[in-house]
Amino acid sequence: MKRTKISILIKSDKPRDNVLIKGWIRTRRDSKGFSFIEVNDGSCLKNIQVVADNSLCNYEDIKKLATGSAVAIIGSLVASMGAGQKWEMRAETIEILSLAPDTYPLQKKRHSDEFLRTIAHLRPRTNKYGAVFRIRSELSYAIHKFFRDRGFKYIHSPILTGSDCEGAGELFKVTTLDLMNPPTKDGAVDYSLDFFGKEANLTVSGQLSAEMFALALGDVYTFGPTFRAENSNTRRHVAEFWMVEPEMAFCDLTGNMDLAEEMIKYLVAYLMEECLDDLELFAKFVDKGLMSTLGNVASSDYTRLSYEEAVEILSKSGEKFEFDIDFGKDLQSEHERYLTEHHFKNPVMVYDFPKNIKPFYMRLNDDNKTVAAMDVLVPKIGEIIGGSQREERLDVLETSINEMGLSKENYWWYLDSRRFGTVPHSGFGLGFERLLMLATGTTNIRDVIPFPRTPNSIEF
RNA sequence: UCCCCAGUAGCUCAGUUGGCAGAGCAAGUGGCUGUUAACCACUGGGUCCGCGGUUCGAGUCCGUGCUGGGGAGCCA
């Protein structure tokens, strides 16, 4: 007999005989002659209520079923006499697949997120984390659907890289050398004897690869893990995270911002349509205002303002900031928060940043002091997207590489793209986990990724 | 890496001016004719984060280390 998933059963429009379910016990309530057993199989947030009569041959064992135990139940789906649910299952046989001992760490009541992080291998069995990871799965799918519907091609950019790409943050080194006794040359480690014949790292971004493919396939995107060895200890950073990076040929900064806005709106609307049950859990227990926030994000237009205008708003705000606002300095967290949470109360797109605070590949504007960069800032989380129109002019790009003290030789292949059929192109990086935080109201990034990697923490 | 806060039962926490270690939930046992994070009764459960110090006496005060959380920087 094939098992039926609980997500299917609870949506049934008629009673059904001879149904098999398999899942885990969430709670058991005993009465005089029978027990109510809540079974969850992870297919959806809801449990199915199973009624186990004391006439069942193994009823004495059934009464030992504790939270976390696994069962296979055959029975019939019938209308529930109770008020809390439409359907319930009347058990004919209950096979106990495994009995959870009383040391099972999860209880029926709520646990703190901090405690659940210490048992990250078990937390997907809770309502909240089950919901997080179902939403994460749906959001991944929606990203692919969004791009595919618009003719974008999915590029698998490499995880192992030989260049330090954009110099964005500290890199994780990848080596097969004997760390106790590495080969040296002139007092330094001799990486010519390493696996790749040169230094290698985990990628910090798929952007440079994506650019090469955008200049061949037109519109492309990457979606994969990226790594930063930055020692940052905040609720918005992890060492391993997933990034979505579209790259579009024949596209300027405005087209780039258009895509970013359209994409966020699409994804949030998609979740509100497909994951309503799970989202409502967050609206109930995590962030009371979640649904109105999401409604706003999905439907209202995002204000676009230049860095210069942002600086002006902040200067005139009368707000006392810890850090000075001055043209040429990057916006601090407190400034971003002021813009999104107080001034506009909505996502905000800031563009045309001073060139000295941005990487070499961003396109120089005609004013010679700003670049065609853009950030999407959202309330509570801050920067969720960073992107730019890329510098497509070979001479300007070479000057920029020189000015930033980088070596042209390392980027020979990147520069080739500007030698051969170069065109204006643009792209951005979206922090997948940060979008999940926005979608669920979760305030700590460690709670939206299955096994978070942070400084001093890689237990699971 | 810097600043701030916290660490007491399986979990969430209380513990007064330094004076016998507490509650709720969970767990175990029993009860209850339909429950909804069921309910009622009883029972068991402690390296008060580690180390050192002050004191007649430290969960409480001091020093230090570790762990967790929040903020900052870096960014997505």
Nucleotide B25: closest residue by CA–C1': A109
**Burial of A103 (C-beta count, 10 Å sphere; 0-12/13-18/19+):** exposed
Quick check: A328 and A319 in contact, CB under 8 A? no
Provide the token pair at A124.
């997907």
**A455 CA: nearest nucleotide by C1':** B1
- With bands split at pLDDT 50, 70 and 90, how would you rate the model's confidence at A218? very high
CA proximity to A360, closest of A166, A89, A80, A79? A166
Rounded to an integer, the average pLDDT of A122-136 is 94
Q: Is any atom of strand B within 7 angstroms of residue A108's beta carbon?
A: yes
Q: How far is the CA of A33 from the C1' of B43 (A)?
A: 25
Q: Is any atom of strand B within 7 angstroms of residue A361's beta carbon?
A: no
Which positions on chain B have an atom < 7 Å from some protein CB? 1-2, 10-13, 25-28, 31-39, 67-76
Which domains, and CATH codes, for chain A? 6-98 (2.40.50.140), 123-169+204-447 (3.30.930.10)
DSSP symbols for A377-417: EETTTEEEEEEEEB---HHHHHHHHHHTT--GGGGHHHHHH
* Res A291: pLDDT: 94
* Res A166: pLDDT: 54
**Is 70 exceeded by the pLDDT of residue A371?**
yes
Distance CA A340, CA A289 (A): 16
* Res A165: pLDDT: 53
pLDDT > 90: percent of chain A = 74
* Res A150: pLDDT: 97
Structure confidence by residue, pLDDT tens digits, A404-453: 888 888 899 999 999 999 999 999 999 999 999 999 999 999 999 999 99
Question: For strand B, which residues in window 378-407 of chain A come within 7 Å by CB?
Answer: 382-386
User: Which ranges of A101-245 would DSSP assign to H, the alpha helix?
Assistant: 113-118, 127-149, 207-217
**A30 CA: nearest nucleotide by C1':** B35
Mean pLDDT over each residue of chain A, to the nearest integer: 92
* Res A352: pLDDT: 96
User: Which ranges of A42-197 would DSSP assign to H, the alpha helix?
Assistant: 59-62, 113-118, 127-149
Write the single-letter amino acid at A104: Y
Q: How far is the CA of A31 from the C1' of B40 (A)?
A: 13
pLDDT > 70: percent of chain A = 98
Rounded to an integer, the average pLDDT of A239-265 is 97
Q: Is any atom of strand B within 7 angstroms of residue A341's beta carbon?
A: no
- With bands split at pLDDT 50, 70 and 90, how would you rate the model's confidence at A124? very high
Q: Is any atom of strand B within 7 angstroms of residue A457's beta carbon?
A: yes
Structure confidence by residue, pLDDT tens digits, A12-60: 999 999 999 999 999 988 888 889 999 999 999 999 999 999 888 888 8
E strand or H helix at A260, and its extent?
A: helix A253-274
Q: How far is the CA of A31 from the C1' of B30 (A)?
A: 13
**Is 60 exceeded by the pLDDT of residue A393?**
yes
What's the complex ipTM?
0.89
Distance CA A195, CA A177 (A): 8
Q: How far is the CA of A107 from the C1' of B23 (A)?
A: 18
Q: Is any atom of strand B within 7 angstroms of residue A69's beta carbon?
A: no
**Is 70 exceeded by the pLDDT of residue A164?**
no
**Is 80 exceeded by the pLDDT of residue A145?**
yes
Rounded to an integer, the average pLDDT of A179-203 is 92
